Amino acid sequence: MLSVETSLKEAMTAIEGSVGVALVDYTSGMALGTLGGSKDLDLTVAAAGNTDVVRAKIRTMEMLGIREDIEDVLITLGSQYHLIRLLKGRGGNGLFLYLVLDKGRANLAMARHQLRRIESELEL
């Protein structure tokens, strides 16, 4: 099992094209841990903003009567992928992993696979 800090480091090193990663509590909008980012990518601000995305999707699914779990949400920009993976394991309720990838260097399928693996090994 991996700690939060180790999981974030694993995401940055094992996932090709990683720019930044955060573990976020979407009930409060707070980042519980961040790694990476840049002057143009404030992960704390991004974590809070993407909390609204997750909440909106959950509300919409409830209104539509969809009774499935969200695996991940993908936002594609011109030069980046933003991947939001909701945690399902023990103690993961209300949390998501947020990963920003450089679109030119990343393999999206592999990134999703690696993020799923990191989620399964994360100890909260």
Write down the pLDDT at residue 93.
Answer: 81
pLDDT (tens digit per residue) in 105-119: 999 999 999 999 999
pLDDT of residue 60: 96
Give me the percent of the chain exceeding a pLDDT of 90.
Answer: 84
Maximum Cα–Cα distance across the chain: 41
| CATH code, domain carrying 78 | 3.30.450.30
Number of domains the chain is built from: 1
- Read off the tokens for 109: 């399928």
Convert the pLDDT of each residue in 3-28 to its tens digit: 999 999 999 999 999 999 999 999 99
Structural domain containing residue 37: 4-121
Q: What is the pLDDT of residue 123?
A: 85
> How are beta strands 95-102 and 80-86 bridged, if at all?
antiparallel
Q: Predicted confidence band at 1 (pLDDT cuts at 50, 70, 90)?
A: confident
pLDDT at 92: 66
56-104 pLDDT tens trace: 999 999 999 999 999 999 999 999 999 999 998 666 689 999 999 999 9
Q: Which residue has the higher pLDDT, 1 or 121?
A: 121
